[in-house]
Structure 1
Amino acid sequence: MAAVCAGDLAAGPALGLLPLVSLGPAFAGLVGGWRRTVLVGVVAAVLCAGLGLYSDLIGGRRGLTALLTVAGVTAAGVVAAVMRQRREAELASVRSIAEVAQRVLLRPVPRGAGPLRIAVSYTSAVAEARIGGDLYEVVTSPGGVRMIVGDVQGKGLEAVETAAVVLGAFREAAHDEPDLTAVGVRLERALNRHLAGERFVTAVLAEVGDGPYATLLNFGHPAPLVVRPTGPVTYAAPPDRALPLGLTGHSSDAPLPHTVPFAPGDQLLFYTDGVSEARDAAGRFYPLKSRAGLLKDPDPEAALRAVREDLVEHAEGPLHDDAAMLLVRYREGHGD
């Protein structure tokens, strides 16, 4: 408004800048509350009237048009401000509900379980969202520490609902069933009651007991990354590729559990394809294996944070898919 006044005084009334004073209440309605918009509108009207008197336009058609423009834009700005504040209040309520849903669906994992140190990272691809289709859980059972990391096909509320079914079934089965194969059967049975059509869930189940190894059961999920204090970084790939949960009924070849050495000092990084398939501007996938050095931080949460920051930097902006990571460390010196 000051720029418009200065331009109008410098150029004279012939240029016709006076109606542009209404830009003040227009922008005020976009960024401020309705009271601020009214105040800016009053100031704009005073400036418009003052300039109209100075230029001897207040009694003519141009002066009246300018005043009516300021009044109309101010009224529209007030309505816009009220509607925007109402939507902001609704969004704040939705965010609060989402945070509660996150605590119920994706509960904080224990930082320590038996010989393990555990950290988790979850980044939703949906703007302002806290939860999505990726899932994880850690349960201490009589058979050892059991974990799941999975990815539901699709996004949105249907994916969240499916993730809730999988997590609920896993939390019960992990306590009740004698081995991972039986846990997988329970998950498949729960999904068959819930899913319709060709929807599916990729998942990897893991169990760490007393022995120096981890047992894995992979349902079409990306293989976990194995990082040892010495030696090469490898993927704990299953001996045979299996179908995801929800589709195993279409094949007679159910996934078989396999073991990987897991001793003090070793790390297992479970992740979803939002991590491994994140692309940079040139279309290159995120080189997770070559970034294993980021996991050397003594604090597992700090190590995952470094990987997440590097992942976002690689993608050069927000991720296009949900990205979950679960880092499991076998404490050095345990059992010595």
Structure 2
Amino acid sequence: DGTLLANSSGDSIVTTNTGNEAISELTVSNSMIIQEDYQCRSTVGASQQTDSDMFTFNFTSPPTPMISVNPVDPPDLYVTQTINITCQVTTLTRFQSGLRIVWYQDGSMLSTNGNVQISIVNLDDTTTESTLTFGDLVLSNTGAYHCVAQVLSVLNSEEGMSSTTNIQVVQIPAPQFNSIQLVTTPPIYVNDTFTLQCQFSTVHNIKPQIVINWYRDGTLLANSGGESIVTTNTGNIGTSELTVSNSMIIQEDYQCRSTVGASQQTVSDTYTFNFTSPSTLQFVSIQLVTPLPVYVSDTFTLQCQFSTVHNIKSQQMCINWYRDGTLLANSSGDSIVTTNTGNEAISELTVSNSM
């Protein structure tokens, strides 16, 4: 372009003379100019200068990077999920080191920040991959995403732009009620221990666990001396078991309620629990156990026995004695001893000095 060149960091000139010919080579490195005009001028001794023809040099622009982005499927995602979007760029090997890949959300440039991480790796000599990672999605991550690639090492290189992939982030839906059931085999009598099981499910691949609370007749239950609650989460299923001990209420309504994260609450069906009424006590016998004869003023003992088909826990059979329709009690003249063994009760009445 009319400027005299010399050996420098960017230009190298080597001239050789052979016979009546001279050849000069100019080597240019790292030029950023797209079009340049070159010319050489020659003299011999005190001769006049001779100019060469003009050589106009045009750089070939690097090919536009080939670029693709993976679509997010399905585009509807839930708060707290983690996803990756990848962008693959293919260019010539010698331009790979000068490649820049930029991500955009709704037209705004993204950078590593908050729950968004950007990484880049060379897969091979010509392919570079950039990954956009979302940890714990939030509602503001909703948008249209694309990536742009450009070879920065070459002036005015063309940008490559990917297609757009869309993300729609929504709140976690309320859990789905699956079942509430009795897992203890009937019959169950008053004061027995029994277990109810309640199950809910939610969408897959979310971090918050299913929370399940138990209610009896509308009152929230907690782990206590009479109730034990164990809740487990496996995959997208939450299961809670309520074990009740020593309940004396004949009929109780049980219900469980569930949430996931900030979701709305889901209420289960109501399970109405009815204890099995104890079988009617069966009279076995009443008899005199004192050998005959028994005379006036003698002491004698009567024995009365009942049984039931079920051993009622912590509940003993009560046997009362009557004489001529009058209820008897332990007194100076009467002694009553009742024992319960398994499903049987035996009561002995000892009468002293009866006239």
What is the TM-score of this pair, normalised by structure 2?
0.25
Q: Which has the higher contact order (CA 8 A, sep 6+)?
A: 1
More strand by share: 2
What is the TM-score of this pair, normalised by structure 1?
0.26
Q: Higher Cα Rg: structure 1 or 2?
A: 2
